[in-house]
A = this chain, B = another copy of it.
Amino acid sequence: MTRRSDAKERLLASTLELVSERSYAGVGVQELCEHAGVKKGSFYYFFKSKQDLMLEALAHQSRVIDQMLFAPALASDLPPLERIERLFHLTYEFQKPMTEKTERVRGCFFGNLALELSTQDESIRHCLDRIFRTAVASIRNTVEEAIKTGDLPEVDAQSTAEAILAYWEGVILLAKVRNQPELLKKLARGAKEIAITGKKDAAG
């Protein structure tokens, strides 16, 4: 890895850390450069602006969350509905070390930015919308498998997947405001129940 690419990695890591601890508006380019140990000139070699950096940080973190959380949670070694419950338990495991370090539940990087920036920055909102749609698609595959195996009747798989993702983000939000990561384990079962929603939608 060259010196330059290492600087870029460090900038992305600092963005994730500082923006998660505070907010997008609460962190400036100067501070990001100092935290990453990168000169401001190098920053502008890699990124046109803070927005540009944030878009790349989102794409990067999206790959991390997919590989570290969604892929193992939704892997086919468990029956489909249990995988959805596992997503909440693994999210707890994912939040726990960060919580121990700072004594604060950081929450979901995407959810945090969605609420801060959706009214202000259309490029970032579109990027987040794509990330959430990808997550919905992964959950939808699991819901469709549950229909095939007979664990669920003919539900509206898209609505069901959207409801499960919304619930996941909401539980993380509540865990953050309470500063109680354990809430992710306590409320994990609710996700399986939401899958039943689609059944009622289809019937009603």
Contacts and interface: CB of A to CB of B under 8 A. Distances in A.
- Give the oligomeric copy count: 2
A2 to B, nearest CB: 34
Contact of A23 (B116, B169, B189, B193): B116
Contacts of A104: 118-119
A111 B106 CA distance: 14
A197 interface: yes
Contacts of A23: 23-25, 116, 120
Contacts of A192: 200
A204 B201 CA distance: 26
A141 interface: no
A26 interface: yes
Contact of A176 (B21, B22, B114, B168): B114
A196 to B, nearest CB: 5
Contacts of A173: 111, 114-115, 166, 169-170, 173
Interface of A: 20-26, 102, 104-107, 111-112, 114-116, 118-120, 125, 128-129, 132, 159, 162-163, 165-171, 173-174, 176-179, 183, 186-187, 189-190, 192-194, 196-197, 200-201, 204
Given A112-B116, A193-B197, 19 more contacts: A20-B119, A23-B23, A23-B120, A25-B25, A104-B118, A105-B118, A116-B116, A118-B176, A129-B178, A159-B186, A162-B187, A163-B187, A165-B174, A168-B170, A169-B169, A169-B170, A190-B197, A192-B200, A193-B196
9 nearest A-B residue pairs (beta carbon): A170-B170, A166-B170, A25-B25, A163-B190, A114-B177, A169-B170, A104-B119, A190-B197, A25-B26
